[in-house]
Structure 1
Amino acid sequence: MNWIYVFIGGLFEVAFTFCLGKMKETSGTASYWWFALFIISLFASMALLMKATQTLPIGTAYAVWTGIGAVGTVAMGIFVFNEPASFLRLLFIATLIGSIIGLKIVSH
């Protein structure tokens, strides 16, 4: 169950970076709404990570949580914000995913 908390927390990390991107694109009241969603997502992400680390090794849980956030944010940048998807960028994301899987496998 705690790995589910890490996974959902990682998705909320992607959500708060999405809100940052939308805040950059908007102004006025819309920007404040994106900021509010950023704060809510940030709180949810940290709370889920905190809950998960009560029983999981903090180093592994944190690495997986940030990895999910990093991979998700890069994917969102490519598909939503039209960032480049170069071969090297995708290669390094693939190595990051492999490292996350490896950490999960070797943790107790």
Structure 2
Amino acid sequence: MEKTKQRAGLSSPPSRLFQLRDFLLVYNRMTELCFRRCVPGLLQRGLDGSEESCLEGCAGKLVRSNQRLMAAYVRLMPALVQRRLVLDSNSQHSSQPQAPSFSPSAA
């Protein structure tokens, strides 16, 4: 039964929920920012031409910048993870207590 749900997309892993949440947060911020920037008042029911073109430009700019940011993140992330692993490995080696060396001449 569970496999059937997963195939149908009814049961999603937690990472997909986080992705959806992150997408909705970005979308809501973008909507609010562009609306505040482009719509000075609510005196009429619809958007006029300048408001509509401003919103399209604003949203387009934010989407393009987000795409560039994500591309840079995807490109740089493997190197950052590798560096973090090396730093963690080095800190584990330096924090392990070393046994005192014994020299027969000191006895």
TM-score tier (shorter): 0.3 to 0.5
Q: Which has the larger radius of gyration?
A: 2
Q: Which has the higher helix share?
A: 1
TM-score, length of structure 1 as denominator length: 0.33
| Larger RCO, structure (CA 8 Å, separation 6 or more) | 1
Give the TM-score of the pair, scaled to structure 2.
0.33
